[in-house]
């Protein structure tokens, strides 16, 4: 995969994930294969959130005066908002924004919903499309102007500690989600100049794509009381006082799908983790004139049996050369292929090909154990994909002891860690020298000196070339 960008665009087209020919920049069409991956990814996410969040659906349009209420927030988004100015031929009295995110759509309503301390915490989420007029180079799934898979959660708490704990819980939820997809990540606190507009602070998940650039794949924001004060969201305490609530919000997007595709794929195409693969197993019959019907019957029965046990299985009985079928299913990233011919049936065996290793093996066929055996292979594939991805990720994080070394190391892309005093103007100097941005702050450092100004270092920070 020498040119990731080209590989990525080709595979989206060849595997029928996304059609990029829609005539609006940054807006694309989900094709059936892509839509299924998206659907299964969302299923995993909903399973995690539904435990203690309620799913809701707010309108797409936000009145101008609501969007403008929170000054820092609106400033942060002013260059990215799409506006509706007319209803048919009639100019609207009040312009309507296409939501770039839904704080200002939801929070005036939260004001009506929140009553007493006993109602709290409240935790909501929705999966919607949002619109951002991105000025940076757009790329399918990675930087789009219509984010079609925007999962945004919004929570409300009685005190700062509640919001703080929720930030930690949200990080755990996302960790568990990315772990199931085998996507490696690093969680950092964004520098103050890069936090979500209106947030007290922002925690972000970043992964590394095969070209060595990092991609922000999720964010968790502690909003403190900023929006609560702007939208006057209060609750009644046990003593009958009225207090402003504390809030958090956290979001993920189509970038999750981009990461699944980009991180696991290889030169033969997609490699999908079984949890999101449209087909987890494909059965290809190896047919000769003699015994063909027997093979077809056997394969069909096996497919039905696996389906009954909840697996997504496809029996490919098209009249095509086996080699052509192999090529296609490999390109589409089906985790496991079973090849079954007359001799295999006679010997109670079948050939398995794992897409992650491309290794062919014989599997003994036993009526009673076949379900377990195949499930075990799928579990192994999930584990192997995750391990391989993490290994590569970790190899791409390197420490630098000096600015010169940081500049040198960043030529190989990836993430560079270094000691930093935390001062904004010093941070800007570092960014200027190295010519990449500070990604985030990782952890407190002790007895170390800032790589730039030599004063005591407060944190280990990360530098990266980002998408
Ligand atoms: C919020 N409010 O909005 P956030 N294309 C693809 N993915 C994107 C794009 C884009 N143009 N822009 C952002 N993302 C908060 C939290 C409700 C939910 C993805 O936060 O602005 C990024 O992965 O940080 C980002 O982490 C996530 O959406 C949430 O967007």
What does the pLDDT look like over 235-287, one tens digit per residue? 999 999 999 999 999 999 999 999 999 999 999 999 999 999 999 999 999 99
Distance between CA 163 and CA 176 in Å, rounded?
Answer: 20
C-alpha dist (Å) from residue 143 to 13, 19, 259, 279: 17, 15, 12, 28
Tokens linked to 360 = 């062919």
**Which residue's CA lies nearest to atom 21 of ligand 1?**
196
Q: What is the per-residue pLDDT for 387?
A: 98
- Any alpha helices (H) in 79-159, and if so which ranges? 103-113
Pairing of strands 415-420, 437-444: unpaired
Residue 42: closest CA among 154, 149, 124, 196? 149
Ligand 1 center–CA 254 separation, angstroms: 9
Its CATH architecture, for the domain 4-264, is 2-Layer Sandwich (3.30)
* Model pLDDT for residues 394-426, shown as the tens digit of each residue: 999 999 999 999 999 999 899 999 999 999 999
pTM listed for this prediction = 0.97
Tell which atom from ligand 1 comes closest to the C-alpha of 215. 23
Among the residue ranges 42-56, 271-285, 430-444, the one predicted with the least confidence is 430-444
Q: Which residue among 253, 254, 260, 467 has the greatest number of ligand 1 atoms within 8 angstroms of its CB, and so is best to mutate?
A: 253
Cα–Cα distance for residue pair 187/176, rounded to 1 Å: 13
Say what the pLDDT of residue 195 is.
96
The structural domains of the chain, with segments of one domain joined by +, span: 4-264, 281-376, 398-464
Query: How many C-beta atoms lie closer than 10 Å to residue 388's C-beta?
Result: 17
Mean pLDDT of the chain: 96
Residue 257 alpha carbon to ligand 1 centre in Å: 14
Sign of CA dihedral 257, 43, 218, 273: negative
Pairing verdict, β 242-244 and 437-444: unpaired
Is 398-464 CATH 3.40.50.300? no
Range 182-189 average pLDDT? 98
Q: Ligand 1 centroid vs 207 CA: distance in angstroms?
A: 14
Taking CA atoms, 190 is separated from 417, 434, 440, 442, in Å, by: 14, 18, 4, 9
Q: Could you give the 3-state DSSP secondary structure of residue 192?
A: helix
By the 8 A CB rule, do 235 and 116 touch? yes
Mutate which of 28, 219, 259 for ligand 1? The one with the most ligand atoms within 8 Å of its CB, which is 219
- Pocket residues: Cβ below 6 A from ligand 1: 101, 132, 134, 143-144, 147, 152, 196, 216-219, 221, 249-255
72/195 Cα distance (integer angstroms) = 11
pLDDT at 55: 98
Q: What pLDDT score was predicted for residue 446?
A: 78
Whether residue 2 has a cis bond before it, omega within 30° of 0: no
Fold of the CATH domain 281-376:
Rossmann fold (3.40.50)
Query: Does residue 2 surpass a pLDDT of 80?
Result: no
Ligand 1, atom 13: closest residue by C-alpha: 253
**Average pLDDT value for residue range 40-45:** 98
CA-to-CA dists, residue 251 to 9, 18, 70, 149, 204, angstroms:
25, 22, 19, 10, 10
With 80 as the cut, is the pLDDT of residue 1 above it?
A: no
pLDDT at 289 over 90: no
Which residues on neighbouring strands pair with residue 249, listed in sequence order?
Answer: 154, 221
Q: What is the mean pLDDT of residues 110-137?
A: 97
DSSP calls for 224-276: ETHHHHHTT-EEE-TTS-EEE-EEEEEEE-THHHHHHHHHH-BTTB----TTT
- In whole angstroms, what separates CA 75 from the centre of its chain? 26
pLDDT at 310 over 80: yes
* pLDDT for the residue 329: 98
**pLDDT per residue as tens digits for the range 138-177:** 999 999 999 999 999 999 999 999 999 999 999 999 999 9
- Which carries the bigger pLDDT value, residue 412 or residue 390? 390
What pLDDT shows up at residue 444?
82
């Amino acid at each position: 995969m020498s040119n990731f960008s080209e590989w990525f665009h080709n595979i989206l087209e060849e595997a029928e994930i996304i059609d990029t020919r829609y005539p609006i920049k940054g807006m694309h069409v989900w094709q059936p294969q892509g839509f299924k991956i998206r659907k299964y990814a969302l299923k995993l996410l909903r399973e995690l959130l539904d435990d203690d969040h309620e799913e809701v659906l707010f309108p797409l349009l936000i009145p101008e005066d609501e969007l403008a209420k929170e000054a820092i927030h609106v400033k942060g988004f002013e260059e990215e908002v799409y506006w509706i100015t007319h209803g048919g031929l009639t100019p609207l009295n009040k312009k309507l924004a296409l939501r770039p995110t839904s704080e200002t759509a939801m929070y005036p309503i939260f004001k009506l919903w929140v009553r007493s301390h006993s109602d709290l915490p409240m935790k909501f989420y929705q999966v919607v499309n949002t619109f951002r007029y991105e000025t940076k180079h757009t790329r399918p799934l990675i930087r789009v102007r219509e984010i079609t898979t925007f999962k945004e959660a919004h929570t409300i708490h009685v005190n700062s500690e509640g919001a703080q704990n929720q930030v930690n819980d949200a990080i755990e939820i996302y960790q568990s989600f990315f772990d199931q997809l085998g996507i490696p990540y690093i969680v950092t606190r964004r520098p103050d100049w890069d936090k979500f507009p209106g947030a007290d602070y922002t925690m972000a998940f970043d992964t590394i794509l095969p070209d060595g650039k990092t991609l922000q794949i999720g964010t968790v924001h502690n909003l403190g009381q900023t929006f609560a004060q702007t939208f006057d969201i209060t609750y009644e305490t046990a003593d009958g006082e009225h207090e402003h609530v504390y809030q958090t919000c956290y979001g993920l997007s189509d970038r999750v799908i981009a990461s699944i595709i980009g991180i696991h794929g290889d030169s033969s195409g997609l490699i999908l983790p079984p949890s999101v693969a449209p087909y987890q197993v494909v059965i290809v019959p190896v047919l000769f004139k003699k015994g063909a019907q027997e093979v077809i019957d056997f394969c069909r029965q096996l497919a039905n049996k696996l389906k009954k046990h909840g697996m997504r299985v496809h029996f490919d009985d098209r009249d095509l050369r086996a080699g052509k079928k192999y090529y296609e299913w490999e390109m589409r990233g089906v985790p496991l292929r079973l090849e079954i011919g007359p001799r295999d049936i006679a010997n109670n065996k079948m050939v398995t090909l794992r897409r992650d290793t491309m290794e062919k093996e014989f599997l003994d066929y036993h009526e009673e154990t076949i379900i377990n055996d195949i499930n075990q292979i799928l579990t192994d594939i999930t584990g192997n994909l995750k391990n391989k991805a993490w290994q590569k990720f970790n190899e791409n994080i390197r420490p630098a002891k000096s600015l010169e070394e940081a500049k040198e190391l960043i030529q190989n892309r990836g993430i560079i860690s270094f000691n930093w005093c935390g001062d904004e103007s010093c941070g800007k100097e570092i960014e200027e020298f190295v010519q990449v941005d500070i990604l985030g702050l990782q952890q407190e450092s002790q007895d170390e000196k800032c790589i730039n100004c030599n004063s005591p270092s407060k944190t280990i920070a990360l530098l990266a070339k980002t998408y």
